[in-house]
Structure 1
Amino acid sequence: MSYEKTKQLKSLISEIKQQDYLILVGIILIPLIIGIFLVKSAKQKKNDLLKLKETFIHEVEKENKALITELTDIYNNINDTYFTYHKKSSTIAKCNLCLEELQFISKNKALFSSDFNNFISKSIYIITELKNNFQTYDNTAFVEKRILEYDYLFKKSPFPLDKYQKVAVVTDDTHNLVVAGAGSGKTEVLITRAAYLIERKPDTIDSKRILVLAYQNKAAREVHERLDSRFGFDVKIKTFHSLGLEILKEANRNSDIDTLQIVDETEQQRLVLSVFNEKIKDNKFQNDIINYMKAYGDSEICKSKYDFEDKETYYEYMRNLTYTALDGTIVKSEAEREILNFFVTHDLNEKRVKVLYETPAEWMVYKKEDGETRAPGPDFFFPDYDIYLEHWALDKYGKVPEWFKGKNPTEVYKNGMEQKKKKFAEQDKYVLVETTHKDFKQNNFIEILEDRILIALKKKNPGKTFEFTQISYEKLVNRVWNECVVSVRSLPTNIGMFINIAKTYNLTPDEIEQRIKNEPWSLKQTEFANVALKIYLSYENKLRSENKIDFSDMINLAVRKLKQKEYLYKNCFDHILVDEYQDISQQRYELIKSLMDKNDGCKLFCVGDDWQSIMGFSGSNLDFFVQFAQYFDHPAVTHLTVNYRSCKSIVDTGAEIIRHNGNVQIAKDALAHNNTLEPIRVYISIHNTKFVNNYYTQVAQHCISTIDTYLQNGYNPQDIMILSRIANNPKLKNKLHEYASACNVPISFEKKSWNKIRFMSVHASKGLQARVVFLLNVVEGLYGFPSEKDNPDIFELATKGRKKDTEEEERRLFYVAITRAMENLIIYSQIDSESKFLGEIENHVIVEKLQN
């Protein structure tokens, strides 16, 4: 029964009851004239209502018979297609609504004939039975029947699909997520799924109404070739970017869209570099970069006392704060950092000033109250000039900050000050320069510092002239600490990445600027964003002036057009299939969602492995996978648990790695089809971080020698792969190349490699495999695992959602590296710098030290 008719029937019954009440009141009032009129009027109105009721009874019978027929047909045909959650839910909702109205009528059966009441009772019984059948129905039997029926499809793969893969193909809810593992055949499942949709009966799908989305052109071509060669089917297979461009062309027919030039990744990098090289000529922009360099070592978001529950916790936080100067020295206050940075950025008489921080002054040794001897470490010492600089933490009131320890911190601090100053007064060799926190709060602190140092220099060297001069930008870049140098040299690349991520989250330069102002960030993040924003603005202006769009624009503009134009891609697709869904980003999600909204009844099928989500640096957001149900409600989730690539020892080791990521990943079984337990060997170089050249030499020699042994024993070069977290490590690559050439071992350091051993980054290896994998440089540090070279924290201003844990993604990347190996895995590390990841798999590996 429709909602409106139900409402009218309820109103009708209510009015009939009202007239009965008025008749009763009228009978009571018959002695009065008004009673007679009341009875007559109520009876007349009731008769009219009863006539109307008969019309409604007829309509109720008609509608309920139609509904029972509809529900019965659904139930009778329930095994002809998959009974989706949404179909089941809406069908049960229909039953509930109808039962509610029928039961309302049943409660008022005195108003109806016995025949109608019998009809109502029978209807309640039938619909209740149907409802119970719908509620208890599941698709297990249907899935098993379909698996048997379409077994011939599953055998067309080079390796016939297993039970888990078949279930994933046939499961056909509105929203479907296939949670796969490494080497579990997820692409095979996606291809067979497309073939199954076209081949199945009676619910066949027109191939033109199927859309497959892949991430790379290579993957799209692979899906197309396999689908065509095995099944002879042709469906629309697109990358997200090419689909975006297609949508733009469709939305802008008869416009100048075809004159737009598409900027690919290489051209984008060139454009960003071009804008950067132009900007770097400007002193103001150089100064922005210098500010970033000064903040590079300070990644923590500064907190105020209002962020803490009590004073003591805040005081402890303040006492433990550290600051990194431009030369990499870690100091204890902003003022100390400012002081040290002055001597890094300025030369004295055209020479760099040597500064030692908190170096014990043996000549100041004294005995403490407990009898222990102590050599104080004044803040700064200039050994070439016999000058010390002490920065006292005294404010304009002569007090120390409130977080200093002790009952009388100022008194204790001043006593220590006086002891040091007394020691200086008792000798003639060294001069003491003093600054205070009060000085630091002055706008001219650097001038105060410079003046006092110059006075001390002239006192020590009468008649000699001294002058501080600021060094050039290029000279400063070469002078700062190594990790900061790498970051500055990588600025164009990192800014390009920042722009890509911002566009992935559809954040404009104006929105980035607002985020800098309104949200809490570390100084490092703010200063990087200030640099990146200037390039972003100029880059966007350059694109528009040259009538160009980049890859990210393709998707963002396509989503905008889909939302603006109702007709665009309306009712085009019945099924959308997405490969590598673990790498989904905000903009790609928006594109999928917009297409789903445009196509009523369209079904979504996503396959991926959250354990291999390693594209966070380019804007992918793991939440879309792990929290799939929040974005696409009530999905059917199936698991591919068997790894057909790797032997058991490698599969077990991979699972152990991910276990340390905790609840970030979806828990799942990882089973090996090959139960062989090949030993995983970790070789530790005996050369520590002080002897980098010896370390790379030893690793390269052992790696190439071991590869040569494999080749001598019948392995082909394509059976072997060499991986490194960071492939662009010149020292390591040069050593490998040197020893490979000497031993006549064919190694390719390029993407294309025919009959050569492949050397590549772990990121580039995703989707590939080899019988033997050599994993180099599993150490801490800049080029290690987890890597310190990449700086995800500087990209956070360009993202939305939760703060990404760098270590989690690095661990997933380690998992990807491990699971490229089919049979043998050899890992190299360093004696004093072993990666923490190795400690997490210590029960799965055999560790040996490399000997000279």
Structure 2
Amino acid sequence: MLASIRLAELIEEFDKLCPLVTGWARDFFAAAKSHQRDSGWLTSDFTRTWEQRKPTGRFAELLASPELEEHRRDLGGEDLQAIELWSSDLAQYVSRWNERFLDQELISYKSFFDNVERSPLTDEQSRAVVCFDNRVQLVAAAGSGKTSTMIAKAGYAVHRGLVAPEQILMLAFNSKAAAELQERVTERLAPLGLAADRIVARTFHSFGLAVIGQATGRKPSLAPWVERGGDVEKLARIVDELRDTDAAFRTEWDLFRMVFGRDLPEFGQEEADPDDWDPVTRRGGFRTLAGEVVKSQGERLIADWLYYNGVEYRYERRYEIDTANASHGQYHPDFYYPDINLYHEHFALDQNGLPPEEFVGYLDGVHWKRVLHAEHGTALIETTMAELWNGKAFATLTAELTSRGVVLDPNPGRPAVGQPPIDNQRLVSTFRSFMVHAKSNRLTDDQLLTRAGEESRERFRFRHEKFLQLYRTIRQRWEDELVKHDSIDFEDMLNLAADHVEAGWKSPFRLVMVDELQDVSAARARLARALVTEPNHYLFAVGDDWQSINRFAGADLSVMTDFEGWFGKGETLRLERTFRCPQPICDVSSRFVLKNPQQLSKQVVSSTPEHPPAFVAIAANSDEHVQSVIRKHLAELNDRIATGIAPVGRGGKASLFILGRYRHHESLVPHAAIKQWPHLDVRFSTIHASKGLEADYVVIPGLTRDKLSFPSKIADDPVLRLAMPAHEAFPFAEERRLFYVAITRARRSVTLVTVRNRVSPFLAELVKEQGLQLRDAEGGHAVVIPCPDCSDGTMVPRAGKFGQFYGCTNYPKCRKTMKEAEGVALTDTGP
């Protein structure tokens, strides 16, 4: 009796809920059919709306109840279909509808897809055109036709009646790209009878100006130095003026440049990655302003502070007492001040007085030194790494030295006989990059100071706070100059424009298309996001995270790698077929860039025929020999084209780029001989400037192990992290992407030029991991022996007291050695 009562109650409850589910499903199907008829793709907004309308309650529990199994068998077809939909993952269900819709559209609009561009769209391009979700990210390989896809999508939207032409906005990174988009829209869509003249292509900046003007009734002016690309030069003038008029600023600037220009590594890494070699002590280390090589970066910082202040010191001078015995060698304190007979030990201790965990027995040594000085009555002062981080060490040194009669004589003009200080221009550029990121992310001075304070205690906060002190003054003068000229800068413009859109400025655009998403800053991303927050608005963003090379200009790669975090749920599609590089270049470049696991994966497939060899790698005998190597290579290439061995380029000539990491590599271009090669059109470009361009052949010099070569050893200042997004932990992450950009400019082959025994880590990696063959200038095989111990070193011949041997180019960081003949490891001795 109780069972039958319970069953009746369950049936009654089920029968009340089931019609709600059936009604929801009926409305969903009707809405889906209507949406696809009028608007095409079922969007994430559509799915979210119907997910929110889904009846809830105990229906899931009742469906699973065994007691209602017989009752459910009596349900009609509509109820069963509704229950199936209700039980499904709605997003997956909608995705299946969209796949069927895509197949139908490809058939219905085949003529459009075949004729909208010079060549018929590929399946990948067509899918990207038809997919009209509210948020679509298109990850496009180099040379995959991303611009064609953008033009086709705009045309499809108008042709299909999804969006009116005047509701389409294309946003480009620079004026050249915007002009190309506008030209291509007219060229390709106008002949199809579409209103191409009503589609707008603008730069972010020009669009931002227009928004502010319309929202306020007064269009602002860009600062003239910003508009002309002279922002770094302007900041340099500001710094010079501040140094001339503000004695305190001058003192702090000079001190920072001379002494604090370099950051400190993480705790325990002070002796890692030595940058110089001391032939007397036969050990690696860090060269100071005064010229000696010290063991750690902390010691270098102290030595540079002493030198800047004119303090006489001796590094690791023999202690005045003989300490050598069975347990200890002769003691050499870190610093000795002869004028005041004072010793100074710098200890690798943290704020708790503890050394790094791996420094076994270190505290015993600290105790021994303290006891030794106490026993012999010698004066000792101490500093620690923790005191360098928080700045207390410099206050201690000032007090201890001056109290003993030393007069500090700070002098930025004192000649650096050793490692030069940070160059003024480079430091100014760092402050400008910091300003771009800080303003783009709307970080106030107080917020930046808070960020510095929130850093790990094992960070050089004192340096970062000094940097912020200088930045505060520089930024204020920059803002004063903007007010003086009644103007704004790019970051102000983007932020103000986003403010107005977020505050209710009525945008006329429903489809916003963003080009080069990987180069977008936080301020640009915020503006794009603000434009599509209303229902039935669409963002189509195209980019390639493998080609993100503008971090210095404010680019925030997370806008692309965390697309949904920035813009919300949507689709991520890929263009993986390239029409530029042959397959061997695609394969080598893809494997190279994907060594960084943070890059988005793609399987790049080429439609371009191969003309071997895809890669040529040549080792010149010396730096002076590089230009003649390039000249000889170009002459041979010209002859091959003339004899038909190599295919002729467009217009009867083959285009060739010589791409330099820096502008000074242009000196390697054999300008005088170019007229001798009628089948070659030779041009030089920096790699940054070559982005978006292509040539039949590419030559990349500078692949050596030097500071200004490739990869560049000039790293971003860690202080930039206070104003920037998350730091990229992978070594040379942006340099790796820059090398990818250089390689993928080529339609036929790439030539890499190095110098014998100074092979770049990038080229060494290609030899070691991808089987690239290196030849000498005469065409013979050049020997490259990858170091078996470290990731990027090569073994080169060296002379030692026992004869010739091979040593790693990463010495003293890597101490691997090999005998020349046997190739077996020797003891860990240096060159």
How far 1:481 moved relative to its partner?
2.0
Q: Which of 127, 136, 140 pairs up with 1:180?
A: 140
* Structure 2 CA distance for aligned equivalents of residues 393 and 261 of structure 1: 50
Give 3-state SS (helix, strand or coil) of 1:660's partner: coil
Match of 1:849 in 2: 776
Does residue 569 of the first structure (1) align with residue 506 of the second (2)? yes
Alpha carbons of structure 1 residues 142 and 707: separation in structure 2 relative to 1, 3 Å: same
Q: Among all aligned residue pairs of Structure 1 and Structure 2, give the percentage whose two residues are the same amino acid.
A: 23
How far 1:437 moved relative to its partner?
2.1
Does residue 138 of the first structure (1) align with residue 97 of the second (2)? yes
How far 1:721 moved relative to its partner?
0.7
TM-score under structure 2 normalisation?
0.73
Give 3-state SS (helix, strand or coil) of 1:841's partner: helix
The answer on whether the counterparts of 1:292 and 1:524 sit within 8 Å (CA) in structure 2 is no
Match of 2:256 in 1: 291
Q: Which of 489, 500, 519 pairs up with 1:550?
A: 489
The answer on whether the counterparts of 1:686 and 1:851 sit within 8 Å (CA) in structure 2 is no
Does residue 276 of the first structure (1) align with residue 207 of the second (2)? no
Higher radius of gyration, 1 or 2: 1
Deviation per CA, 1:228-260, whole angstroms, max 9, x where unpaired?
01111231212111111111011112x474798
How far 1:610 moved relative to its partner?
1.2
How far 1:576 moved relative to its partner?
1.3
Does residue 169 of the first structure (1) align with residue 129 of the second (2)? yes
Alpha carbons of structure 1 residues 550 and 479: separation in structure 2 relative to 1, 3 Å: farther
Q: Which of 560, 570, 578 pairs up with 2:514?
A: 578
How far 1:501 moved relative to its partner?
1.7
Match of 2:627 in 1: 700
5+ residue gaps, structure 2, are: 1-8, 10-15, 191-195, 270-283, 385-391, 643-648, 780-831
Does residue 740 of the first structure (1) align with residue 671 of the second (2)? yes
Deviation per CA, 1:144-173, whole angstroms, max 9, x where unpaired?
221222223333423332111111111122
User: Which amino acid in 1 is paired with 2:172?
Assistant: A
Match of 1:768 in 2: 693
Does residue 249 of the first structure (1) align with residue 235 of the second (2)? no
* Structure 2 CA distance for aligned equivalents of residues 343 and 473 of structure 1: 12
Deviation per CA, 1:428-459, whole angstroms, max 9, x where unpaired?
xxxxx9753289979574586589899xxxxx
Match of 1:684 in 2: 619
The answer on whether the counterparts of 1:720 and 1:772 sit within 8 Å (CA) in structure 2 is yes
Deviation per CA, 1:269-328, whole angstroms, max 9, x where unpaired?
343222111012243223222234312333325699xxxxxxxxxxxxxxxx99874457
Of Structure 1 and Structure 2, which has the larger fraction of its residues in helix? 1
Deviation per CA, 1:370-428, whole angstroms, max 9, x where unpaired?
9x9x887665699xx99998535699xxxx98778268545644798799x99xxxxxx
Match of 1:630 in 2: 565
* Structure 2 CA distance for aligned equivalents of residues 806 and 836 of structure 1: 11
User: Which amino acid in 1 is paired with 2:171?
Assistant: L
Match of 2:150 in 1: 190
Alpha carbons of structure 1 residues 369 and 830: separation in structure 2 relative to 1, 3 Å: farther
Does residue 236 of the first structure (1) align with residue 200 of the second (2)? yes
User: Which amino acid in 2 is paired with 1:648?
Assistant: Q
Does residue 593 of the first structure (1) align with residue 546 of the second (2)? no
Alpha carbons of structure 1 residues 708 and 450: separation in structure 2 relative to 1, 3 Å: farther
User: Which amino acid in 2 is paired with 1:272?
Assistant: L
Does residue 405 of the first structure (1) align with residue 355 of the second (2)? no
Q: Which of 472, 479, 482 pairs up with 1:533?
A: 472
Deviation per CA, 1:738-765, whole angstroms, max 9, x where unpaired?
x433665799xxxxxxx96322221111
Q: Which of 655, 660, 668 pairs up with 2:602?
A: 668
* Structure 1 CA distance for aligned equivalents of residues 102 and 437 of structure 2: 41
Does residue 331 of the first structure (1) align with residue 331 of the second (2)? no
Match of 1:341 in 2: 304
The answer on whether the counterparts of 1:175 and 1:635 sit within 8 Å (CA) in structure 2 is yes
Give 3-state SS (helix, strand or coil) of 1:845's partner: coil
Deviates more, 1:826-835 or 1:409-418: 409-418
Give 3-state SS (helix, strand or coil) of 2:580's partner: strand
User: Which amino acid in 2 is paired with 1:208?
Assistant: E
TM-score under structure 1 normalisation?
0.71
Alpha carbons of structure 1 residues 194 and 701: separation in structure 2 relative to 1, 3 Å: same
Alpha carbons of structure 1 residues 283 and 61: separation in structure 2 relative to 1, 3 Å: closer
The answer on whether the counterparts of 2:261 and 2:422 sit within 8 Å (CA) in structure 1 is no
Match of 1:481 in 2: 419
The answer on whether the counterparts of 1:265 and 1:551 sit within 8 Å (CA) in structure 2 is no
Does residue 812 of the first structure (1) align with residue 737 of the second (2)? yes
5+ residue gaps, structure 1, are: 1-16, 18-56, 110-116, 305-320, 423-432, 455-467, 688-694, 748-754
Does residue 797 of the first structure (1) align with residue 750 of the second (2)? no
Match of 2:281 in 1: none
Give 3-state SS (helix, strand or coil) of 1:548's partner: coil
* Structure 2 CA distance for aligned equivalents of residues 819 and 343 of structure 1: 49
Alpha carbons of structure 1 residues 530 and 707: separation in structure 2 relative to 1, 3 Å: farther
How far 1:642 moved relative to its partner?
1.3
Match of 2:440 in 1: 504
Deviation per CA, 1:703-760, whole angstroms, max 9, x where unpaired?
1332244345457777111112222x3xx444x26x433665799xxxxxxx963222
Does residue 646 of the first structure (1) align with residue 581 of the second (2)? yes
Match of 2:787 in 1: none
Deviation per CA, 1:745-804, whole angstroms, max 9, x where unpaired?
799xxxxxxx96322221111111111111121233421222123524232222244556
Match of 1:315 in 2: none
Match of 1:491 in 2: 427
The answer on whether the counterparts of 1:357 and 1:379 sit within 8 Å (CA) in structure 2 is yes
Does residue 213 of the first structure (1) align with residue 171 of the second (2)? yes
* Structure 1 CA distance for aligned equivalents of residues 653 and 322 of structure 2: 65
Match of 1:437 in 2: 382
* Structure 2 CA distance for aligned equivalents of residues 608 and 210 of structure 1: 19
How far 1:480 moved relative to its partner?
6.1
* Structure 1 CA distance for aligned equivalents of residues 297 and 636 of structure 2: 56
How far 1:475 moved relative to its partner?
4.2
Alignment of 1:359-508 (within 5 A): 369=326, 379=334, 391-392=344-345, 405=361, 408-409=364-365, 412-413=368-369, 435-437=380-382, 445=397, 470=409, 472-476=411-415, 481-482=419-420, 484-486=421-423, 488-508=424-444
Larger RCO (CA under 8 A, 6+ residues apart): 1
User: Which amino acid in 1 is paired with 2:206?
Assistant: S
User: Which amino acid in 1 is paired with 2:307?
Assistant: V
* Structure 2 CA distance for aligned equivalents of residues 394 and 587 of structure 1: 44
The answer on whether the counterparts of 2:141 and 2:578 sit within 8 Å (CA) in structure 1 is yes
Alpha carbons of structure 1 residues 830 and 132: separation in structure 2 relative to 1, 3 Å: same
Give 3-state SS (helix, strand or coil) of 1:547's partner: coil
Give 3-state SS (helix, strand or coil) of 2:602's partner: coil
Size of the aligned set, in residue pairs, is 706
Q: Which of 546, 560, 570 pairs up with 1:611?
A: 546
Deviates more, 1:211-220 or 1:404-413: 404-413
